[in-house]
């Protein structure tokens, strides 16, 4: 099998999702880091691979795949075992909705480039930007709390790690980094704790990546 190459950044939650999925499927991969703080993802050489200049991107057999949700769907179809989605059609829709709540409703509004735009173009003070971040995380987490209470059984959905956990764990990591109060979300935090104890999630943690800042 050709080697998978993951382009990312150690603290990117979107790249974190892909690392988890690759680890869960037992796939070997090399990593290429692009420091988002320095704007390395905008370099022409990387844009030739990923035209939007965003991470993550995965190279495999001469093709490049972008957008973490699409990458996870591709991994699931390309290497279906172990599965990241449950067997029933309805259950798969619920797991995708959990992932989508983060991928569509939380993360885009709190992405680094959005926060920089708020600061530089609209001259918003940091206090207002922090409030913006907290608002959208809380909105999404409130919905996830209900979904996990209904469908979780140790993990976010059911009793084995799914695509939902690949999204939940990195978003909880982000929330902790910015000091969000997670007390209102006991089901979500319990599911994240269960997933974090899994070796595939532990190995994907940002601090354990080759491009991570020194401790």
> What mean pLDDT do residues 21-33 have?
98
The string of DSSP codes covering 57-114 is: EEEETTEEEESHHHHHHHHHHHS-SS-SS-SSHHHHHHHHHHHHIIIIIIHHHH-HHH
Options 3.40.50.720, 3.40.640.10, 1.10.260.40, 3.40.30.10; which CATH number does 4-82 get? 3.40.30.10
Please say if the pLDDT value at position 111 is more than 90.
no
pLDDT band at 2 (very low <50, low <70, confident <90, very high): confident
- Ranges of each domain in the chain: 4-82, 89-200
Q: What torsion, rounded to 10 degrees, do the Cα atoms 58, 117, 139, 70 define?
A: -20
Do residues 56 and 12 make contact, with C-beta atoms less than 8 angstroms apart? yes
pLDDT of res. 152: 98
Per-residue pLDDT reduced to its tens digit, 69-100: 999 999 999 999 999 999 999 999 999 999 99
The torsion of the CA quartet 169, 91, 106, 13, rounded to 10 degrees, works out to 30
| pLDDT of 122 higher than 90 | no
Mean pLDDT for the chain overall: 96
**What average pLDDT does the segment 139-145 reach?**
98
CA dihedral 189, 88, 86, 84 (to 10 degrees): -120
Q: Among 58-67, 124-133, 157-166, 179-188, which stretch is predicted with the lowest mean pLDDT?
A: 124-133
Pick one of 1.20.1050.10, 3.40.50.2000, 3.30.930.10, 2.50.20.10 as the CATH number of 89-200.
1.20.1050.10
Q: What span, in angstroms and rounded, lies between the C-alpha atoms of 56 and 66?
A: 6
pLDDT digits (tens, 9 = 90+) for 149-174: 999 999 999 999 999 999 999 999 99
Looking at residue 1, its pLDDT comes to 57
> Does the bond joining 56 to the residue before it have cis omega, within 30 degrees of 0?
yes
Whether 23 has a pLDDT exceeding 60, the answer reads yes
């Amino acid at each position: 099998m050709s080697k998978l190459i993951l382009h990312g950044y150690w603290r990117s939650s979107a790249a974190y999702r892909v690392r988890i999925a690759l680890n869960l499927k037992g796939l070997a991969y090399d990593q290429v880091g692009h420091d988002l703080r320095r704007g390395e993802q905008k370099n022409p050489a990387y844009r030739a691979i990923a035209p939007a200049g965003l991470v993550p991107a995965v190279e495999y057999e001469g093709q490049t795949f972008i957008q973490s949700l699409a990458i996870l769907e591709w991994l699931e179809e390309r290497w279906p075992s172990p599965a990241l989605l449950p067997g029933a059609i309805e259950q798969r829709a619920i797991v995708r909705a959990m992932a989508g709540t983060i991928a569509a409703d939380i993360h885009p509004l709190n992405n680094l480039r959005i926060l920089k735009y708020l600061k530089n173009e609209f001259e918003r003070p940091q206090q207002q930007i922090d409030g913006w971040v907290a608002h959208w995380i809380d909105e999404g987490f409130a919905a996830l709390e209900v979904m996990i209470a209904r469908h979780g059984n140790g993990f976010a959905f059911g009793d084995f790690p799914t695509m939902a956990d690949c999204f939940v764990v990195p978003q909880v990591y982000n929330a902790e980094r910015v000091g969000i109060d997670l007390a209102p979300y006991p089901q979500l935090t319990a599911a994240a704790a269960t997933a974090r104890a899994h070796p595939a999630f532990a190995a994907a943690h940002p601090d354990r990546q080759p491009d991570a800042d020194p401790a």
